[in-house]
Amino acid sequence: MCEKYNGWSNYETWNAMLWINNVDGVADALSDQLEQQIEQFVDEGTWDESGYLSYAEQFISDYFTDTFVYQDSNDWHEVNYGPVADAVTTYLNQVDWREIAKSIYDDNEKEWRSNRE
């Protein structure tokens, strides 16, 4: 059973968001990419928050994994196996990426709207 942690659904989600917010450039890069995707959804006439959140949770998970796990090495799991790889995989699977996507959306929605107007 997962318990809430510092206002987040669990420790892993809180910790992932901590890394996103505290590593220079990561939060801004995510925000910029997600804003561009919203613009594309709007331009295509396919915008809805649920669709955005589905896209964003996968994008954020991939971005986080590429930034903090693979670190420009796509063979991480081939050279890192055993208990460390299991622990990292378990950690990543416990993160509520949708909760992070919703938080980023809520934090940036007004700015993103004003940029589109």
Residues 6+ apart with CB under 8 A from 2: 9, 10, 94
Global pTM value: 0.84
Residue 16 located in a structural domain:
yes
**pLDDT on residue 71:** 64
Containing domain of residue 27, as a range?
11-116
**pLDDT on residue 48:** 86
Residue 5 located in a structural domain:
no
**pLDDT on residue 79:** 57
**pLDDT on residue 93:** 93
Residue 19 located in a structural domain:
yes
**pLDDT on residue 109:** 86
**pLDDT on residue 75:** 59
pLDDT, one tens digit per residue, over 60-85 is 999 998 888 776 555 555 556 678 77
Q: What is the mean pLDDT of each run of 10 residues along the chain (117 residues)?
A: 84 96 94 91 87 93 85 58 81 95 92 76
Residue 74 located in a structural domain:
yes
Q: How many folded domains does the chain comprise?
A: 1
- In order of 17, 37, 45, 77, the CA distances from 40 in angstroms are 25, 5, 8, 33
Residue 102 located in a structural domain:
yes
Residue 78 located in a structural domain:
yes
Residue 1 located in a structural domain:
no
